[in-house]
Structure 1
Amino acid sequence: MVDSPAGTPAAPRREVAVVGSGYMGGGIAQVLALTGAHVALADVSAAVARQNYERLLAESDDFVAGGLFPEGATGILRANLWAAEDVEQAVRGAAVIEEAVPEVLEIKNGILSRIGAAARPEAIIGSNTSTISIGELAKAVRNPGRFLGVHFSNPAPFIPGVEIIPHAGTDAPAVEAARQLVRDCGKSSAVVRDVTGFVLNRLQFTLFREAARVVEEGIASVEDVDTIVRTTFGFRLPFFGPFAIADMAGLDTYHFSFQSLQTAFPGELAPPTILSDLVEQGKLGTKSGGGFLKIPAERIPDLVAYRNKAYVRLQKLIEELGPPPVD
């Protein structure tokens, strides 16, 4: 152990393994290594792991040149990343292991079985699955209380949110260890229940399904749907989630809109019970001092000022970046 400059012993580096070193797993490995963790990369062979190790370094050089990674990032990665000979070597000394192999149940089960057999009994094991039941995957893991979903989004280095998904038998310390890992990466976490699609993809694919239906029904073109989403309600989403947006719009307004939509879509767009209950209680959002969120009346002017400033600055950023390179 190396002493710190103050003369006190420095904490040992966290040993981490990422199994699956492709685009998703490689991005996760970059994020972890940049925090100072010592990160082993494993894949179907040592050659593939080594090839992806070199790719991640070259990619980092490009990110540094583009101002996306800080100066010196590639040197940090070179010092902290290493390519293992196999899964067993990668996980043997790791305190935290992230599985990021293809989204195929049989492949994941096989890898998780190998990880569980080779890892230390107390090592935390996370899966980056985006849709497969964590409880189902846990059946392949030795000591399943230390297993949970730790779902990064693509591209992992740049998307700041991570879903934490415990299964029914996950131990509480494993959840807190996963949340701490995410915090150490400078990212935000949300703990959600183990249901199909979790939260991220349940919401994302519901939006996509409706967008596809709008196009299929000839209501708008693909281009116009994308324009509407990114320039209207999607424009708010970098700053506020759906409940905060509803509170600011007025829950009575939302309730009336659901009632109107229900006339055309009676089985699909009825007002949600939690919305109806709040409206019946007179809790109409920020204008009544309470709704889904608790925002004191004296803070509402600050909220409105923040909202307006955020939207103006986002529009300026979009104009600065220019249109995305798509037709």
Structure 2
Amino acid sequence: MVTSISSVAVIGAGYMGGGIAQSLALAGLPVTIADVSAEATEAAYARLLGEAQEFEDEGLYDAGATETIRANLRTAPSIEEAVADVDFVEEVVFESVEVKHDVLGRISAAAREDAIIGSNTSTIPARVLATAVKNPERFLTVHFSNPAPFIPGVELVLGERTDEAVVPAVKELLAKAGREAAIVADVPGFVLNRLQYVLLKEAMSIAEEGIASPEDIDTVVRTTFGFRLGFFGPFAIADQAGLDVYAGGFRTFEEAFGERLSTPDLIQEAVAGDRRGVKNGKGLLKDYTPEQVKALVAHRNKAYSEMGRLVRGLGPAPA
């Protein structure tokens, strides 16, 4: 199995695949792209270079980024030729089990036996896709987010037969591209979309019940807890707010909405064990020293202040 990735193929050069290829090429890795046909691949190549130049002109990429991408990005006339001699292959085709099975079968038949194979699926379990892969111990989900050039988080999902030895190599690759990886279990939707879809479903329920308009719901989300989420996840936010406060809030929700919003066991167990978050130095994530609490609060306040400046500077999103 490959222990360090120095060459990549991206199969599927549409919006997501192209963005992934662009990001890895910008990180200095030689990247080969292939799409449904040689003509589609060449069109994608031209589009990616054009987009890169636009990003550079807008200050979203550093000066010289387009030339770096041009120097590292290449095309292949077929999937088989693209994957023939690379260390890592990322499949980024249509979110269909049948389509992905076909493409992954072609990839694994043509790639080197020691090459690592990833899929950018956003919801399909790795164990479902792995059945199409020759030597499935080298296969895992490597799930980038949209837009790929700018979102840093990547979910890694290991299937039932995935060899854990592939993880360090993939994490090293992602780190080169300025990405941060999180390993999550092999369940439908993983973590990102399970949380994202639950938020959307509850937001739609609130709108359907007439509690607030879609526009006002979006305002609440982006200007309150969503404002925090660029810096802290829900566990860190709960530690800062107070776990006993959350326990009281859940009691109110359970009375109003029943079992659907009952107090989670993790909160009940924490409060029963006198773990109330940063206020007493005992949280869900860790124990905090007084010095760590002081530094955390200072970082939080600075982060939110800077976020406020950024939002005001950018102005409202275009309609």
Q: Fold-level match, TM-score > 0.5?
A: yes
Q: Distance in 1 between matches of 2:74 and 2:290?
A: 53
1:297 to 290, 301, 313: 290
1:120-176 per-residue CA deviation (whole Å, 9 max, x = no partner) reads 001000000000011010000000000000000000010010001111211011122
Partner of 1:151: 143
Q: Highest relative contact order (Cα 8 Å, sep 6+), 1 or 2?
A: 2
Q: Contact between 2:5 and 2:173, CA under 8 Å: does it hold in 1? A: no
Structure 1 residue 297: Cα displacement: 2.1
Alignment gaps of 5+ in structure 1: 1-11
Structure 1 residue 299: Cα displacement: 1.5
Q: CA RMSD in A?
A: 1.1
2:304 to 300, 304, 311: 311
Structure 1 residue 13: Cα displacement: 8.6
Q: Contact between 1:13 and 1:38, CA under 8 Å: does it hold in 2? A: no
Residue type of the partner of 1:208? L
Residue type of the partner of 1:299? Q
Is residue 2:187 matched to residue 1:175?
A: no
Residue type of the partner of 2:318? P
1:271-315 per-residue CA deviation (whole Å, 9 max, x = no partner) reads 000110010000110011111122222221111111111111111
Q: Distance in 1 between matches of 2:75 and 2:292?
A: 51
**Aligned residue runs from structure 1 range 55-204, under 5 A:** 55-204=47-196
Which has the higher mean CA deviation after the structures are superposed, 179-188 or 290-299?
290-299
Q: Distance in 1 between matches of 2:186 and 2:170?
A: 15
Is residue 2:200 matched to residue 1:233?
A: no
Q: Contact between 2:5 and 2:169, CA under 8 Å: does it hold in 1? A: no
2:22 to 18, 26, 30: 30
Q: Distance in 2 between matches of 1:146 and 1:310?
A: 39
Partner of 2:208: 216
Q: Contact between 1:87 and 1:114, CA under 8 Å: does it hold in 2? A: yes
1:242-288 per-residue CA deviation (whole Å, 9 max, x = no partner) reads 01110111000000100100011112011000110010000110011
Residue type of the partner of 1:303? L
Q: Contact between 1:95 and 1:122, CA under 8 Å: does it hold in 2? A: yes
Q: Distance in 1 between matches of 2:308 and 2:70?
A: 37
**Aligned residue runs from structure 1 range 265-284, under 5 A:** 265-284=257-276
Partner of 1:9: none
Q: Distance in 2 between matches of 1:192 and 1:177?
A: 17
Q: Contact between 2:34 and 2:76, CA under 8 Å: does it hold in 1? A: yes
Equivalent pairs counted in the alignment come to 315
Alignment gaps of 5+ in structure 2: none
| TM-score between the two structures when normalised by the length of structure 2 | 0.97
Distance 1:91 1:237, change over 3 A: same
Instruction: Tell me the secondary structure at the aligned position of residue 279 of structure 2.
Output: helix
Identity rate of aligned residues, in percent?
53
Structure 1 runs (4+) deviating above 2 angstroms are none
| TM-score between the two structures when normalised by the length of structure 1 | 0.95
